[in-house]
Each structure stands twice: as C-alpha cells, then as structure tokens.
Amino acid sequence: MQAIKARRSIHTFKDEEVDEAVLKKIFTYGSYAPTHYMNEPWNIKLYQREGKRQLVDAIITSYQRIGMLKTDDHPKTVKMTESMREFLLQIPHHALIFFEIEDDPVRYEEEYAAVCAFIQNAQLAAWKYGVGMLWTITPYMHDKGFVDDVGLDSSTMKVAAVMQIGYPKKLPRDRGRTPIEQKMEIISG
Ligand SMILES: Cc1cc2nc3c(=O)[nH]c(=O)nc-3n(C[C@H](O)[C@H](O)[C@H](O)COP(=O)(O)O)c2cc1C
C-alpha cells in the first residue's frame, strides 16, 4: 500500500545501471498480472548499454519520418537531433513492451488491459527495489516504420509502451489524487 501511494513517475535518472537480475525480478512480479485465458500477452525488449543506440536510432528516424524532427543540416536541426539522442542515451534502460495484435477488438482490449496491469505491477515492484520508471506513450510508437525498425512485424505486433528505467535522481512531489467519492457511485438498492 505504501508503494502504491509513494511511487512516482521518474523523469531524471542517476548515471547508474540497474542489475539485470533485479530487472528480471521486477518483470517477473509484473507477470503476475491478471490475464484473460492466461494469455500473458506481454513481451519485453530491454535496451541498455550499447544496445540503446539501436532504439534511439529508430526513434530519431521515426521522428524525422513523421515530421517531428527536421532532416536538414542546419546547425539548429543538428543540435536538436543530437540533444534528443543524448537525452535518450543517458537513460540507463528502456523497456519496449509489446503484444500480439488480436483482430477481434474485444480480445485486443483484453490483451492491452493485461499488458497495462503487467506494467503497473512492474512499476510497483521496481519501487520496492528503489528503481524508478517512466511509462511513456509517444508518437513514434504509432509509426509502423518504427515498429519494423526495432525488428517487430507491425502488422502483427503492437507497442504498448516504452518504459524508461533507472535509479531516480529526483523524486517528483506527490500531487495527490481526487477523493474517490467524486468518482464513485454506490448503488445499494
Ligand atoms: C498510459 C500512460 C502513458 C503515459 N505516458 C507518459 C508520457 O508519454 N510522458 C510522461 O512524461 N509521462 C507519461 N505518463 C506518466 C503520467 O504522466 C504520470 O503517471 C502522472 O503524471 C501521475 O504521476 P505519478 O505517476 O508520479 O503519480 C503516462 C502514464 C500512463 C498511465
């Protein structure tokens, strides 16, 4: 309960890796999420060390393809592209979470819901190990070219999130939550 309330989304990370064994434990806890038909739809590509370059190259290429980054050699463009690259590379680990696309929209929702439960379980487990995460949904995730560039078949696989992972440098303040009474209708009779 303490972890549920104290966990924060982490935006800045220490320059320190999380041990692979700890990351495996974190995602193992994640995998105890509920899953319809026991499908366990979650899959992870974990990028770290030199491996991050593959992901970051795919992200930058995607941003260029969808027009969020220019491709000219103007110093301003080069600077913007390089600062994006540096920002992403200094994050210790990136976990790309993906699942197989179900054609039936109901089944698709079920799979996505289970993957989200997996992600939140993992975030809470991570918090217990002092590890911070940022759940990101970004424009490149919706770009089929990006999905193909990271070696997935975009016609069969959907990227649900990219988690940024590391030891927190700074803890954001707790902004609290709306009292649940404002979101809850009790029907007793
Ligand atoms: C589905 C989902 C997508 C999110 N995407 C982003 C994102 O792209 N960038 C970001 O900074 N935070 C993202 N967040 C984190 C939220 O901004 C964060 O959970 C919210 O501000 C509450 O802060 P807390 O997690 O510290 O309680 C996302 C959260 C969820 C659940």
Q: What is the pLDDT of residue 116?
A: 98
Q: pLDDT tens, 116-144?
A: 999 999 999 999 999 999 999 999 999 99
Angle value at C-alpha 120, between 122 and 12, nearest 5 degrees: 75
Ligand 1 binding pocket includes 9 (Cβ within 6 Å):
yes
Q: pLDDT tens, 144-189?
A: 999 999 999 999 999 999 999 999 999 999 999 999 999 999 999 9
**Distance between Cα 8 and ligand 1 center (Å):** 9
Q: Which helix (H) or strand (E) holds 20?
A: helix 20-30
Give the number of other Cβ atoms within 10 Å of residue 178's Cβ. 7
Distance between CA atoms of residues 132 and 109, nearest Å: 27
Q: pLDDT tens, 141-151?
A: 999 999 999 99
Can you tell me which residue has the tokens 């495996």?
A: 24
Q: What is the pLDDT of residue 2?
A: 94
Smallest CA-to-CA distance from 5 within 132, 174, 163, 131 is with: 174
* CATH match for 2-183 among 3.20.20.140, 3.40.50.720, 3.40.109.10, 3.30.470.20: 3.40.109.10
Q: What is the pLDDT of residue 39?
A: 96
| Nearest CA, atom 25, ligand 1 | 9
Q: What is the pLDDT of residue 114?
A: 98
112, 176, 179 from 185: Cα distances, Å: 26, 21, 12
Ligand 1 binding pocket includes 137 (Cβ within 6 Å):
yes
Can you tell me which residue has the tokens 């424009």?
A: 139
Contact between 133 and 44 under an 8 Å Cβ cutoff? The reply is no
Q: pLDDT tens, 60-101?
A: 999 999 999 999 999 999 999 999 999 999 999 999 999 999
CA atoms within 13 A on the CB side of 122: 28
Pairing mode, strands 93-100 and 157-166 = antiparallel
Structural domain boundaries in the chain: 2-183
